[in-house]
Structure 1
Amino acid sequence: MGIFGALTTAVGGLRAGSYALENISGNIANSQTTAFKRIDTSFLDLVPQTALTAQLAGGVTAQSRSTNSVQGDVQAASVATFMAINGNGFFAVQKPGAFTDGSPVFDGVDRYTRRGDFQLNKDGYLVNGAGYYLEGVPIDPTTGNPAGSSPEVLRFKNDFLPAQQTTKIDYRANLAAYPLTTQHDTSVPGSELLRPGSFSSGHNPVVLGTPAAPYTDAAVTGTAQSNKATPSVANSASTALSGAAGTNSISSNFVAGDTITINGTVYTFVASGATGNQFNVTDTIGTLLTTINGITNSSPASSIAANGAITLHSGTNADLLIQSSNTTALQALGFTGSAVANRGGGGTVGTGQVIGNDATTFRDESIAGGSVTAYDVSGAPVNLQFRWAKTDSASLGAGHTDNWNLFYQVDPNATGTNVAWQNVNINFTFGANGQMSPAIASVTLNNAVVNGVSLGNPVINFGTGGVTQFADSNGNVQVNQIQQDGFPAGQLQSVSVSTNGRIVGNYTNGRNIDLAEISVATFNGTNFLKRIDGGAFEATDESGAALFGKSGTIVGSSLESSNTDIADEFTKLIVTQQAYSANTKVITTTNSMVQDLLNVVR
Structure 2
Amino acid sequence: MGISSSMNAGVSGLNANANKLGTISDNIANSQTTGYKRADVDFSSLTVNDARKSYSVGGGRGYTAGGVTTTATFDIEAKGQVIGTTNATDIAIAGRGLLPVTSIASAMAGEASQNLMLTSTGSFELDANGYLRTASGLTLLGWPAEADGTVPETPRDSSSPLRPVQVNVSSTASLPTSDIILNANLPATATIAGASGAAERVAIEYFDNLGTSRSLALTFTPTVPASGASNTWTLAITDQASGQPVGSYAITFSAASGNAGNIASVTQLSAGAAPPSSSYDPASGALTLDLGDQVITTQLGATGAAGPHHLTQLSTVFSTSGVSKDGNAAGTFTGLSVDEKGMLSANYSTGFSRVLYQVPVADVPNMNGLRVLDNQSYALSPESGSVFFYDAGTGPTGAIAGFALEQSTTDTAEELTQLIQTQRAYSSNAKIIQTVDEMMQETTNLKR
Instruction: With the length of structure 1 as denominator, give the TM-score of the two structures.
Output: 0.58
In the alignment, structure 1 residue 467 sits paired with structure 2 residue 313: no
User: In structure 2, the residue corresponding to 1:134 is in which secondary structure?
Assistant: strand
User: Which residue identity is paired with 1:562?
Assistant: S
Aligned length: 402
Determine if the alignment matches structure 1 residue 522 to structure 2 residue 367: no
CA root-mean-square deviation: 4.0
Deviation, 1:167, is 2.8
Give the match for residue 151 of structure 2.
Answer: 145
Other-structure match for 2:279: none
Q: Partners in 2 of 1:579 and 1:568 — Cα distance?
A: 17
- Name the larger-Rg structure: 1
Name the amino acid aligned to 2:214.
Answer: V
Which amino acid is the alignment partner of residue 577 of structure 1? Answer: Q
Structure 1 counterpart SS, 2:383: coil
2:217 and 2:420 map into 1 onto residues whose CA distance is: 77
Q: Does 1:131 align with 2:130?
A: no
Query: Residue 167 of structure 2 corresponds to which residue in structure 1?
Result: 156
Gapped runs of 5+ residues in structure 2?
53-60, 156-160, 265-281
Separation in 2, partners of 1:408, 1:54: 109
- Between the aligned partners of 2:290 and 2:381, the Cα distance in structure 1 is 63
- The superposition leaves residues 300-344 of structure 1 with CA deviations (integer Å, 9 ceiling, x where unpaired) of xxxxxxxxxxxxxxxxxxxxxxxxxxxxxxxxxxxxxxxxxxxxx
1:388–1:404 Cα contact (<8 Å) kept:
no
Instruction: State the match for 2:14 in structure 1.
Output: 14
Q: How high is the sequence identity, in percent, across the aligned residues?
A: 28
- SS of the residue corresponding to residue 42 of structure 1 reads strand
Tell me the amino acid that sits aligned with residue 568 of structure 1.
Answer: E
Q: Residue in 2 aligned with 1:80?
A: 88
Displacement of 1:142 after TM fit? 2.9
Question: Could you say if the C-alpha distance between residues 51 and 434 of structure 1 is closer, same or farther in structure 2, counting changes exceeding 3 Å?
Answer: farther
| CA–CA separation in structure 2 for the residues paired with 1:599 and 1:565 | 51
**Alignment partner of 1:90 is 2:90:** no
1:374 has 2:217 as partner: no
Equivalent-residue separation in structure 2 for 1:127 and 1:457 (angstroms): 39
**Equivalent in the alignment of 1:560:** 406
What displacement does 1:31 show? 1.0
Corresponding residue of 1:301:
none
In the other structure, the counterpart of 1:234 is none
Structure 1 residue 87, shift from structure 2 partner? 1.9
Secondary structure, counterpart of 1:597 in structure 2:
helix
SS in structure 1 opposite 2:328? coil
Q: Tell me the residue number matched to 2:267.
A: none
The DSSP-based 3-state class of the residue aligned with 1:3 is helix
| AA aligned opposite 1:59 | G
For 2:56, the equivalent position in structure 1 comes to none
Matched, 1:544 2:385: yes
Q: 1:564 to 1:198 in 2, by over 3 A?
A: same
Structure 2 distance, partners of 1:469, 1:98, is 58
Tell me the alpha carbon deviations over residues 95-115 of structure 1, each in whole angstroms, 9 at most, x when there is no partner.
Answer: 24489xxx6665741122223
Report the alpha carbon displacement of residue 505 of structure 1 after superposing the two structures with TM. 0.8
CA 1:8–1:505 in structure 2 vs 1: closer, same or farther (change >3 Å)?
Answer: same
Contact 2:193–2:229 (Cα < 8 Å) also in 1: no
Farther off after superposition, 103-112 or 7-16 = 103-112
Q: Give CA-to-partner distance per residue, 1:384-423, whole Å, 9 cap, x none.
A: 577989999xxxxxx999x6759577599xxxxx999996
Structure 2 Cα separation of the partners of residues 564 and 406 of structure 1: 75
CA distance in 1 between counterparts of 2:232 and 2:424 reads 91
Residue 118 of structure 1 corresponds to which residue in structure 2?
124
Decide whether the 8 Å contact of 2:173 with 2:348 is kept in 1.
no
Q: Distance in 1 between matches of 2:312 and 2:121?
A: 57
Q: What letter corresponds to residue 3 of structure 1 in structure 2?
A: I
TM-score normalized by the length of structure 2 = 0.75
What are the residue-to-residue correspondences of 1:385-404 with 2, within 5 Å? none
Deviates more, 1:518-527 or 1:118-127: 518-527
Quickly say closer, same or farther: Cα 1:419–1:21, change in 2 above 3 A.
closer
Deviations 1:40-98 (A, max 9, x none): 11111112332356667741111112111111111111111111112222222222448
Question: 1:38: which partner in 2?
Answer: 38
1:252-331 matches, within 5 Å, as: none
1:538–1:143 distance in 2 versus 1, CA, 3 Å: closer
| 1:140 aligned counterpart, secondary structure | coil
- The separation in 2 between residues aligned to 1:430 and 1:48, in whole angstroms, is 103
